[in-house]
């Protein structure tokens, strides 16, 4: 089985495990972008923890869930967003104002849309979580 999008597959796996009430889920394969997104989700308390597992078959990530995710997903296509357009995409992808996060890749790294607004940065939308 080939995967087209590692981030989309991982977020789908996390959401399915969350809906089933599982405490953990294993994400295969791993990538640097996925690790940065998981660090962001951990910092905003959507997941409890995660750790890299290195095996002979490659790397995987074990994510410890805390039951805080209602929905998460990858945003395709990766829309460009300027510092003044965050509200438009909040209305499109999040259920209410100030509820959930948009994950954005900026020139200063991957961050939430709240951090990007504070710093006055634009970027590309990667994912959402609430």
Q: Which of 31, 102, 30, 19 is nearest to 65 (CA)?
A: 19
Domain C-terminal end among 43, 65, 87: 65
Quick one: 61 and 101 in the same domain? no
Quick one: 88 and 38 in the same domain? no
- Residues 51 and 46: their CA atoms lie apart, in Å, by 15
The band of 64, judged by pLDDT with boundaries at 50, 70 and 90, is: very high
Percentage helix, strand, coil for the chain under 3-state DSSP, each rounded to 5: 30, 35, 35
> Is residue 47 in a domain?
yes
Question: What average pLDDT does range 24-48 have in this prediction?
Answer: 95
Domain C-terminal end among 65, 85, 104: 65
> Is residue 1 in a domain?
no
Residue 1 has pLDDT above 60, yes or no: no
Residue 3 has pLDDT above 80, yes or no: no
Number of domains the chain is built from: 2
Query: Domain span at residue 43?
Result: 6-65
- CATH number of the structural domain spanning residue 12: 3.30.1370.30
Please state, for a pLDDT cut of 90, what percent of the chain lies above it: 88
Whole-number pLDDT of residue 2:
53
pTM: 0.91
Whole-number pLDDT of residue 4:
80
3-state secondary structure at position 72? strand
Whole-number pLDDT of residue 79:
93
Quick one: 81 and 61 in the same domain? no
- CATH number of the structural domain spanning residue 91: 3.30.1490.10
> Which phi-psi region, left, alpha or beta, contains residue 32 (left: φ > 0; alpha: ψ -120 to 50)?
alpha
> Is residue 80 in a domain?
yes
Question: What average pLDDT does range 15-27 have in this prediction?
Answer: 95
pLDDT tens for 102-120 read 999 999 999 999 999 999 9
Residue 101 has pLDDT above 80, yes or no: yes
> Is residue 70 in a domain?
no
Quick one: 42 and 88 in the same domain? no
> Is residue 90 in a domain?
yes
Quick one: 96 and 58 in the same domain? no
> Is residue 34 in a domain?
yes
Burial class (CB in 10 A: 0-12, 13-18, 19+), 6: middle
């Amino acid at each position: 089985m080939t995967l087209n999008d590692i981030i989309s597959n991982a977020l789908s796996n996390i959401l399915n495990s969350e809906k089933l009430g599982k405490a953990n889920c294993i994400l295969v394969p791993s990538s640097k972008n996925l690790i940065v997104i998981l660090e962001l989700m951990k910092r905003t308390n959507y997941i409890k923890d995660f750790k890299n597992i290195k095996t002979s078959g490659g790397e995987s990530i074990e994510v410890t869930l805390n039951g805080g995710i209602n929905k998460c997903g990858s945003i395709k296509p990766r829309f460009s967003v300027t510092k003044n357009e965050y509200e438009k995409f909040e209305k499109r992808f999040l259920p209410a104002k100030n509820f959930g996060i948009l994950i954005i890749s900026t020139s200063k790294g991957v961050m939430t849309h709240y951090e990007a607004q504070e710093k006055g940065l634009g970027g590309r939308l990667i994912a959402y979580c609430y």
